[in-house]
Amino acid sequence: MSGPSGFDIPDRALADSVQQGIAEVEALLHESVRSDLEFATRTSLHLVDAGGKRFRPLFALLAAQFGDPHAPDVIKSAAIVEMVHLATLYHDDVMDEATMRRGATSANARWDNSVAILTGDFLFAQASRLVADLGTDAAREMARTFEALVTGQMRETVGVGSDEDAVEFYLKVIHEKTGSLIAVAGKFGAHFSGAAEEQVQAVERIGRLLGTAFQISDDVIDIASPADESGKTPGTDLREGVRTLPMLYALADPATDARLRDLLAGPLDNDAEVDEALKLLRESDGLAKARQTLDEYAGAARAELDVLPAVPARDALSALIDYVVARTR
């Protein structure tokens, strides 16, 4: 079974179990977003049907293998986390003024910003309804995750303060915006499968580290990988004026070329300047330091595997960590 592009689960029994779980998550997503208002159903299904990596439910289902993966609340918890993720995408597209999402016209471009925001709110409401079935502890945990998602976005919107370290600030943002939800996916999957508490905590930590590492790997790919290898147009962050980890490391280095500093001062709408900035970034210590930071997060995640029993799911998590690093090479 394949998860994110390029990642495979080699153990056939585990792959079949996870694939069946993903199918059940998909069915529950489709069922849960249906409303008496047909338009709300249609706008909600817009992104559900667009597909995606389903990274978060995949992680939850792998975490559930450390207990009983067929326990009744495992699928529901995995669907809740994916529903929350989808809700954030509707809001992100409004804030980013995006026109495309997962190969389809974004909801804000197809309808308008108000519809996209309300659809995100509708998905948050449906996720809250489902999480109430899992008990007050789960609802409290999800509320903390909502808080992290919002504060991470607020930090990014407001920007780094003059007295703050830009790299530390950025890592905090991606921990909150990406790592927090993947962490709770692992925690829910393991907890509702009945796994031992130390294993639940280990998987939660792996999720937090892996989520942060995944964003760093995306930052590296946007600079280092040609489009024909990554499937993405390089320099997207440069065009949007987003300062990612390799850029922040480059700007913090006194030896960085003055021309690169000029190019990183704002969004670039000239293809020649984007290409020039990419060339300079690829030659800079900033890219090398970002790769090193990625390796450190991956190493910390691998260390947590020692807490987990030697079963195929642990091997799959190890392969998932390796995949996050390997996709940047």
Tens of pLDDT, residues 253-307: 999 989 999 999 989 999 999 999 999 999 999 999 999 999 999 999 999 999 9
Domain count, the chain: 2
Q: Is the pLDDT of residue 228 over 60?
A: no
**Domain membership flag for residue 38:** yes
**Domain membership flag for residue 162:** no
Q: Which of 121, 149, 177 is the last residue of a domain?
A: 149
Give the model's confidence band at 50: pLDDT under 50 very low, under 70 low, under 90 confident, else very high: confident
Residue 46: its pLDDT value, please? 85
Q: What is the pLDDT of residues 114-129, one digit of tens each?
A: 988 999 999 999 999 9
**Domain membership flag for residue 1:** no
Higher pLDDT, 236 or 258: 258
**Domain membership flag for residue 140:** yes
Q: Is the pLDDT of residue 230 over 50?
A: no
**Sole residue written with tokens 């909502």:** 146
Task: Examine the domain organization and report whether 207 and 138 are in the same domain.
Answer: no
Residue 277: its pLDDT value, please? 95
pTM for the predicted model, two decimal places = 0.92
Task: Examine the domain organization and report whether 216 and 118 are in the same domain.
Answer: no
**Domain membership flag for residue 185:** no
CATH number for the domain harbouring residue 103: 1.10.600.10
Other beta carbons within 10 Å of 157: 9
Task: Examine the domain organization and report whether 145 and 202 are in the same domain.
Answer: no
Task: Examine the domain organization and report whether 126 and 246 are in the same domain.
Answer: no
**Domain membership flag for residue 164:** no
**Domain membership flag for residue 183:** no
Return phi, psi of residue 86, to 5°. Answer: -60, -40
Strand partners, 2: 8
The span from the first CA to the last CA of the chain, in angstroms, equals: 23
Task: Examine the domain organization and report whether 232 and 143 are in the same domain.
Answer: no
Q: Which of 132, 149, 166 is the last residue of a domain?
A: 149
**Domain membership flag for residue 187:** no
Q: Which of 149, 170, 188 is the last residue of a domain?
A: 149
Return phi, psi of residue 8, to 5°. Answer: -125, 145
Task: Examine the domain organization and report whether 104 and 217 are in the same domain.
Answer: no
Give the model's confidence band at 106: pLDDT under 50 very low, under 70 low, under 90 confident, else very high: confident
Query: Can you give the residue range of the structural domain that contains 77?
Result: 10-149
Contact between residue 189 and residue 60 where contact means Cβ atoms under 8 Å apart: yes
Mean pLDDT, rounded, for 312-316: 96
Residue 60: its pLDDT value, please? 97
Residue 98: its pLDDT value, please? 67
Contact between residue 305 and residue 206 where contact means Cβ atoms under 8 Å apart: yes
Residue 148: its pLDDT value, please? 97
Q: Amino acid identity, residue 311?
A: V
Judging by beta carbons within 10 Å of its beta carbon (0-12, 13-18, 19+), is residue 310 exposed, middle or buried? exposed
